[in-house]
Structure 1
Amino acid sequence: MNKYILASSVSLLTIAAFSSANAQSAARSGEQATRVDEIIVTAQRREQASQDVGVSLSVVGGEQLDEKGISVVNDLENAVPNMEVDSQFGGGQPQFRIRGIGAREYSSNNASTVGIYVDEVAHPYTVTTQGAMFDIARLEVLRGPQGTLYGRNTTGGAVNIITNAPTADFRAGFNAEYGTFDRYKVEGYVSGQIAPNLLGRLAAVTEQGGAWQYHRDTGEKLGDLNKTAIRGRLTWDVSETITADLSATYSIDKSDGRGFRLLGPYTVSGNSVTYPKDTAWRITGWGISPEMAAVAGVGLNAKPFRDNDGFDISARIKADLGWADLTSITAYQTFSRSEFNDWDSTRFNESNVFFYNDIDVFAQELRLSSNGDGPFNWMIGAHYADESIDGGFYTNFRGNPNLINTGYGQSVSAFGIFTHNSYQVNERLNLIAGLRWETEERTLDSSGTVVAPNPPPAPQSYDTDLNEVSGRLGLEYKLTDDALFYASVARGVKSGGFTTYNATSATPFKPEIVIAYEAGIKSDLFDRRLRLNGALFYYDYKDQQVQGLEYDRITGRLGKITNVPKSHIYGGEIELTWVPLDGLTISQNLGYKTGEYDEYNAIDGAKTDAANPKDGPWDIIITNDRSGERLSFPKMNYGGSVSYDLDMAGWELRAETNYNYRDELYSVSSSSIIDAYWLWNANFSVSPAGSNWRAGLWVRNMFNTYYEETRNGFNGSARPTTSPSQGRTYGVRLSMNF
């Protein structure tokens, strides 16, 4: 760890010294060049400077995505404090956590603790978010419960993805990069006026190649990307008071899946083959049974793969009524998931899974908001969603040669009414109050888990509902013209749901509730050369949803999402941006969190198994008191970036490095510790002064750090496997605008 701290210090000192030495030769661009930029956000459904918003908020600009190596929403964890995003067990199902609040599951049917929005349209199922990251204006990450401003209610926070809008003047451009393992990415757009009062924008991206893993037995490569997406946007000024924004996005992902590594020697079930522990970083293995290949519709030579596609369409209509603004958002999403993963990392069929899902979501939102300049700003809204998700997965598990299928059909109907209001008491004090009422019905039809060749039993129907009130009370107080203090208490609610994997019972788990207390300061110092923001929080958690166990009297142990009666989390964040010299920008962020169970009697699987006959029935259930046990998430992350822009001899040069440290994590699935790690990226680009093109070099994971995302203990805790992340890659980039 010391070498990374030293490297960070050397980078800062070197760039600072270089910039100081060249300050006289740099072409000054005015007073604004030595100030932190003002960022306009729409986190509260209206345009505001980010420093005037009394919530914990991080913003990543669209132009920063390539520099920070953000190509999917998952990569935000390396740029935002107290945020983690895991692709569960190397698959295409991401799970988001903010300030320790978030799930760890690989099925696709349950709501996320973090709301994901693309141009104000909610994506309630996170598997659908993997193709949204192109032609982006900015990303806004809000920490803490949300519900008085957004279409859906969440306990963890919200990620707002804002895409680039059509422009009145003609513009076009592209960004292309090529790198290690023959990976390339090309993104382009064209934008301008189509007809009087009608603007349009068309953007597309494709990402190909990059196979970096190989099969230990055959040498076959794994890891090629094959992702393409296209988005069209129209802005139509229907009249002087009505504007309509239409958007449609189609994405397809036929990429290879992630290969796993063996963390220890592995003996194949019922076979004399024993694999040694994997030592080579890129090594992996896979295989598919004839039965699995048949249901997946692939050949016996199939690699781990994804075959997903999605289509989103939305219409946002805004009308100025004179006394208020009326906004209507109508959206429809459809998504198909087909995904094969090999979790045992061998050519044998010890832990193989094929996921299949069809998702359809219709949503309608209406908002009425004030548009005057008075001290009272108000907004009331209503949101309706109708969702269906059909699917499940087939599995081959160790010790069972037969194909196992767990299928289900789920429907969701949700309706919420919400309001968000603020009152400016005087020049310094602003009071905030928000309230939400929500009702929801979830129904699941399933025959449970069926082992071939047994016929499926008659499906059973399960129901769970939600009728909850949530809200927020807060204040914003201007300590000075450039310093804002804020404090709030909020109640957030996340839906209950169903465990849909390896279960003969789909009895629902309950909603979880968070009471969040937060206080923070936002400040611009030294003539806005230094921006320093910080926040502290305490969360009182009720019925926290966690991975646990349940026992069926006949079939025995079941993995299941359960509820912890009481727990708590506390911590904070610090974010700093400093412009000490013309062209030099230093950004740093630090997040810390910890928590523990306050009341939790959990089933002890080992003791329960030992207390019952090997083949059942399982009548004796033994629990242990886990009160006082620390919650399982990384305690700390630290990140930042250093960039320097220089004009010299008719050329514009930019050098940038960014880095992130993430603390160790306890893997519940494998009962082991995933080590802490540092990641470093670097970029250098150059362009003739005033030209329309720019060329650059980039390197990601600069120090070739080995790090893991998740571990899989389904083969037994003595035989866990892990999904490694990619090592150092490097390449070139060319950007051009017309």
Structure 2
Amino acid sequence: MIRFILFPLCFTSYGHTFALPFPESQTLKANQDKHKNGQSPLETITVTAQKQEQNLLEVPLAVTLLNREQIDIAYGATIEQLQSQVPSLSFRKGNTTRNSALTVRGIGTISFSIAAEPSVSTVIDGVVLGRSGQAFSGLYDIERIEVLRGPQGTLFGKNASAGVVNIITREPDDEFTASITTSYFQQDEYRVKTRLSGPLSGNIFGSISLLRAGFDGHLDNVYHRTRADGYNHRGVRGILQYKDDKHNRTLKLILDYFDADDTCCTDIEGLPSGFNTGSEAAPDSRGIVDGVADIDLGQRKIDHDFTTKTRDKSSALSFHFDQTYTKHRFNAISAYRRWDNTEIREGDFSSTGGKSAQPVDFSSVFYQMHDIGPQQWQQFSQEFRLSSVSLGPDNRNNNYQLGAFFWYQDVDRNFSRFASCQNDKGQNQDILQQNPGLTCLATDIVDARADMYSKFINYALYGGGEYLLRKDLYLLYGLRFGHDRTSYRHKRVNNDPWGRAGVGVQGRSKDTRLKGETRDNKLSIKLGARYNLSRTGQVYGHWSQGYKGPGFNVYYNMKPTETGVIDAEQSDAFELGFKYSKNNLLLTSALFYSRFTGFQANNFDCSTGVCITRLTNAGDVSTRGIEADFVWQAGDNLEFYGGVSLVQAQIDKFNCPLAQACSARSGLEVPFSPDRKYSIAANYYLPTELVQIKINTSYSYTDEQYAELPDNEGIFAAAALLPSYGLWDAAIAFSFADDKYRLSLIGKNLADNSYTNTYSGSGFRYKIPRNADRYFGLSLQINFE
């Protein structure tokens, strides 16, 4: 899908993003001269999706590039806010950054397990992240974000079955520069970003970037009389770079630290739960009416006696070596990352749970459930890459890249649950009989703790490129061999003195000690061709294979019956694309079809009489569609751009749990895959002698989508259907003194169209994003040189 943000001059297309910096008078004049000479500035857009600088028209890939100007002026603090600019990319917000996930064209992995990998890989400065959530807390000082759809194993170190989100930070400048940007939005949201960059001595350059941001939240907790769903962020990134132009050598050291203390990710009660019926936070909803959920999208209150929080601390160190020879280029990246994530969760979603000295009955006597789950992720990676100097028709017939990759990660997590004692089915009857006077009431809080550990080892050899068959016709090829090894340990212990069971707490008789290991090898192939249409564009087509390694469903209440290996997820992707640019028009379009076998997903299982979700090889799914977009430079000061995407992601075959019948699921939709998206935007520039003015506006639409899989009978829960929504944004920016000062007035969601982008389950829980309300802001940027 093609999505556009309203603030910058940008064009997010199936093949790229076109975005110009703020047009100073000289830049504007240069564009005017190009128009007079019949030359279009759209013909020279450069992208680096294939690890080399290339003209957009030569890149036979589906890639979206969000550049620095677009990211900065979008005023998005996280990927959740920026993902609206990216075609076919969706964000599913979990109860912590660890459980949040990205999906591409409707395909992604949403899992609580610490022994499973994502379908969409996330990379920062060439370093693969073990969990996408490491990049979800905050973004600052970003040079560009590239989103590649489909398998990318012959280009990137770690393979992925659905796509790659590649984030590149800014490098030090050759000359001294400094800037400070302060932004303030309604409800006391603020961000301050500072950057110093330039030469230190001789061939040594450096930069340091600082971030401070905070927001109390846009939800009101009526129990504590505080605000929720806010954040408190601090970050610092330092880069030291050595450039030896004489020997074409570059060395770079990157140090990064980020600290987040968020009251995230809080669920609102969008449908009646029955927990807080007399509360001022009760939803204005009739519930499910004629099979349709009457979701209270205006709900901005919660009634919780325990504050949901996420605490993140991440640190990173990476060393980059780059050496260019006459005909080749050699790169090496050595990296270490550590991520400490703590989940603090209100699990009963009320202020009434555990307050009544009566047995829990789930109708009038409600239970308490409070969770605390700290974890630590550590990873080391090493990548070597050898490539021909550049790709393109002006170079030798065979342009290629070869790579070797090693990746190690271990995860150490514990999870404690404090919940009301539960005896509705006689779970604790023997214990109560053996201990006269002992009770099992909602006010009797029992607890258990699970200690979990997982380890991943991956290494691979890969390569790919293009070979000139004859004039303007190129063969595309790629090959990858990878080895994956995954292991885990799990121990759960009931800490109640009598070993009583509780809501979501197993009794002492079910304490477990589990472990397992699996490994797999995979050979992946890419084949295709592209044909240059003189200087106006190209057509291309290719088939590529994707792969995501095997794993285990390791979570708090893991049972001995759930120790089976989750087999690898594999994909075959076909793509046919067309790119055209001439004069003042740029047009891209593509047809795609991808089939996934062994799709790893949370399978809805009612085999035990109680419906739960289990991470399994759910079956086979496919996604297909057509995407098209355009940018039209209508005049020297006026641009239009827009796009449309029609995508169908469906279940082809489902693996039924415990021999149950579930064939009714075939042909149904895959979650988080809206069938239709479109957007249209315009930018107008008004230059004067004293000030440059930019006015932009846009509208984007997202179709309705389901947020979870159907049940075994092929029926979607009515509560899981997220309504469609449209967003209208606008901004006006004033630039003074050759852009030394830039003042921007920002308006988000001007039509005040509320929406939800995540259904969290339980029949009533939803997440409402910050951008679901109309709000305004002010930003001031000062540049020093």
TM-score, L = length of structure 1: 0.86
Write out per-residue CA displacement over residues 679-728 of structure 1, whole angstroms, 9 at most, x where no aligned residue: 222111112352411111101222222111212224xx3xx211112212
Amino acid at match of 1:252: D
Write out per-residue CA displacement over residues 119-151 of structure 1, whole angstroms, 9 at most, x where no aligned residue: 111112112112452111111111111100101
SS at match of 1:77: helix
The CA distance in 1 between the partners of 2:334 and 2:680, in whole Å, is 38
**Structure 1 residues 679 and 506 mapped into 2: Cα distance closer, same or farther (>3 Å)?**
farther
The answer to whether 1:692 aligns with 2:740 is yes
**Structure 1 residues 696 and 254 mapped into 2: Cα distance closer, same or farther (>3 Å)?**
same
SS at match of 2:581: strand
Give yes or no for contact 1:81–1:638 (8 Å, CA) kept in 2: no
The CA distance in 2 between the partners of 1:272 and 1:191, in whole Å, is 57
Q: Structure 1 residues 723-732 or 339-348, which shifts more?
A: 339-348
Gaps of 5+ in 1: 1-6, 8-22, 289-302, 604-619
Give yes or no for contact 1:89–1:711 (8 Å, CA) kept in 2: no
Amino acid at match of 2:776: Y
Give yes or no for contact 1:601–1:627 (8 Å, CA) kept in 2: no
Q: Identify which of 478, 485, 496 aligns with 2:550.
A: 496
Alignment of 1:100-179 (within 5 A): 100-107=106-113, 109-131=115-137, 133-179=139-185
Write out per-residue CA displacement over residues 350-384 of structure 1, whole angstroms, 9 at most, x where no aligned residue: 55433321000000001111227311112111100
* Alignment correspondent of 2:396: 374
Amino acid at match of 1:267: G
The CA distance in 2 between the partners of 1:451 and 1:622, in whole Å, is 36
* Alignment correspondent of 2:714: none
**Structure 1 residues 436 and 84 mapped into 2: Cα distance closer, same or farther (>3 Å)?**
same
* Alignment correspondent of 1:538: 593
> What's the offset of the Cα at 1:170?
0.7
The answer to whether 1:427 aligns with 2:471 is yes
Write out per-residue CA displacement over residues 249-289 of structure 1, whole angstroms, 9 at most, x where no aligned residue: 100001222332223333349x999984355521112223x
The CA distance in 2 between the partners of 1:81 and 1:242, in whole Å, is 36
**Structure 1 residues 266 and 371 mapped into 2: Cα distance closer, same or farther (>3 Å)?**
closer
**Structure 1 residues 712 and 406 mapped into 2: Cα distance closer, same or farther (>3 Å)?**
farther
The CA distance in 2 between the partners of 1:433 and 1:343, in whole Å, is 50
> What's the offset of the Cα at 1:32?
4.2
Write out per-residue CA displacement over residues 398-436 of structure 1, whole angstroms, 9 at most, x where no aligned residue: 874533444310011110110112112233111110000
Alignment of 1:9-24 (within 5 A): none
Give yes or no for contact 2:108–2:120 (8 Å, CA) kept in 1: yes
**Structure 1 residues 103 and 212 mapped into 2: Cα distance closer, same or farther (>3 Å)?**
same
Give yes or no for contact 1:108–1:126 (8 Å, CA) kept in 2: no
Q: Identify which of 177, 199, 221 aligns with 1:193.
A: 199
Amino acid at match of 1:39: I
**Structure 1 residues 76 and 495 mapped into 2: Cα distance closer, same or farther (>3 Å)?**
farther
The CA distance in 2 between the partners of 1:80 and 1:164, in whole Å, is 20
**Structure 1 residues 413 and 27 mapped into 2: Cα distance closer, same or farther (>3 Å)?**
closer
* Alignment correspondent of 1:319: 323
The CA distance in 2 between the partners of 1:551 and 1:200, in whole Å, is 58
Give yes or no for contact 1:145–1:155 (8 Å, CA) kept in 2: yes
Alignment of 1:165-564 (within 5 A): 165-237=171-243, 240-268=247-275, 276-278=282-284, 281-288=299-306, 303-349=307-353, 350-371=368-389, 373-395=395-417, 400=422, 401-448=445-492, 452=496, 454=499, 457=511, 459-501=513-555, 502-504=557-559, 505-525=562-582, 527=583, 529-549=584-604, 559-564=613-618
Alignment of 1:579-594 (within 5 A): 579-594=633-648
SS at match of 1:508: coil
* Alignment correspondent of 2:686: 646
Give yes or no for contact 2:255–2:317 (8 Å, CA) kept in 1: yes
Give yes or no for contact 1:384–1:415 (8 Å, CA) kept in 2: yes
> What's the offset of the Cα at 1:544?
1.1
* Alignment correspondent of 1:606: none
**Structure 1 residues 344 and 522 mapped into 2: Cα distance closer, same or farther (>3 Å)?**
farther
**Structure 1 residues 353 and 704 mapped into 2: Cα distance closer, same or farther (>3 Å)?**
farther
Q: Structure 1 residues 309-318 or 461-470, which shifts more?
A: 461-470
**Structure 1 residues 442 and 90 mapped into 2: Cα distance closer, same or farther (>3 Å)?**
closer
Give yes or no for contact 1:433–1:472 (8 Å, CA) kept in 2: yes
Give yes or no for contact 2:473–2:532 (8 Å, CA) kept in 1: yes
SS at match of 2:187: helix
> What's the offset of the Cα at 1:246?
1.3
The CA distance in 2 between the partners of 1:355 and 1:233, in whole Å, is 33
Give yes or no for contact 1:242–1:318 (8 Å, CA) kept in 2: yes
Amino acid at match of 1:374: R
The CA distance in 2 between the partners of 1:623 and 1:249, in whole Å, is 51
SS at match of 1:128: helix
Give yes or no for contact 1:531–1:578 (8 Å, CA) kept in 2: yes
> What's the offset of the Cα at 1:345?
3.2
* Alignment correspondent of 1:711: 759
The CA distance in 2 between the partners of 1:723 and 1:351, in whole Å, is 19
Give yes or no for contact 2:269–2:299 (8 Å, CA) kept in 1: no
SS at match of 1:307: strand
Give yes or no for contact 1:396–1:403 (8 Å, CA) kept in 2: yes
> What's the offset of the Cα at 1:663?
1.4
The CA distance in 2 between the partners of 1:149 and 1:208, in whole Å, is 37
**Structure 1 residues 450 and 543 mapped into 2: Cα distance closer, same or farther (>3 Å)?**
farther
> What's the offset of the Cα at 1:393?
2.9
Q: Structure 1 residues 560-569 or 49-58, which shifts more?
A: 560-569
**Structure 1 residues 390 and 32 mapped into 2: Cα distance closer, same or farther (>3 Å)?**
farther
Give yes or no for contact 1:522–1:533 (8 Å, CA) kept in 2: yes
**Structure 1 residues 27 and 469 mapped into 2: Cα distance closer, same or farther (>3 Å)?**
closer
> What's the offset of the Cα at 1:57?
1.2
The CA distance in 1 between the partners of 2:98 and 2:729, in whole Å, is 24
Q: Structure 1 residues 698-707 or 243-252, which shifts more?
A: 698-707
How many residue pairs end up in the alignment? 678
The CA distance in 2 between the partners of 1:39 and 1:688, in whole Å, is 27
**Structure 1 residues 440 and 77 mapped into 2: Cα distance closer, same or farther (>3 Å)?**
same
Q: Structure 1 residues 653-662 or 54-63, which shifts more?
A: 653-662
Identity %: 23
Greater RCO, CA 8 A, separation 6+:
2
The CA distance in 2 between the partners of 1:591 and 1:406, in whole Å, is 44
Amino acid at match of 2:568: P
**Structure 1 residues 697 and 263 mapped into 2: Cα distance closer, same or farther (>3 Å)?**
same
Amino acid at match of 1:630: E
* Alignment correspondent of 1:657: 697
* Alignment correspondent of 2:359: none
The CA distance in 2 between the partners of 1:92 and 1:385, in whole Å, is 20
Write out per-residue CA displacement over residues 331-354 of structure 1, whole angstroms, 9 at most, x where no aligned residue: 110000012132543224555433
Give yes or no for contact 1:265–1:274 (8 Å, CA) kept in 2: no
**Structure 1 residues 552 and 601 mapped into 2: Cα distance closer, same or farther (>3 Å)?**
closer
Amino acid at match of 1:137: E
Amino acid at match of 1:495: G
The CA distance in 1 between the partners of 2:476 and 2:766, in whole Å, is 46
Write out per-residue CA displacement over residues 98-125 of structure 1, whole angstroms, 9 at most, x where no aligned residue: 1111122345553111121111111121
Give yes or no for contact 1:134–1:187 (8 Å, CA) kept in 2: yes
TM-score, L = length of structure 2: 0.81
Q: Structure 1 residues 28-37 or 329-338, which shifts more?
A: 28-37
**Structure 1 residues 107 and 585 mapped into 2: Cα distance closer, same or farther (>3 Å)?**
farther
Q: Structure 1 residues 43-52 or 496-505, which shifts more?
A: 496-505
- CA RMSD, aligned part only? 2.8
Give yes or no for contact 1:260–1:343 (8 Å, CA) kept in 2: no
* Alignment correspondent of 2:652: 598
* Alignment correspondent of 1:63: 69
The CA distance in 1 between the partners of 2:334 and 2:106, in whole Å, is 32
Write out per-residue CA displacement over residues 444-503 of structure 1, whole angstroms, 9 at most, x where no aligned residue: 100258574545845221112221111211111112311210100001011222223332
The CA distance in 1 between the partners of 2:473 and 2:308, in whole Å, is 57
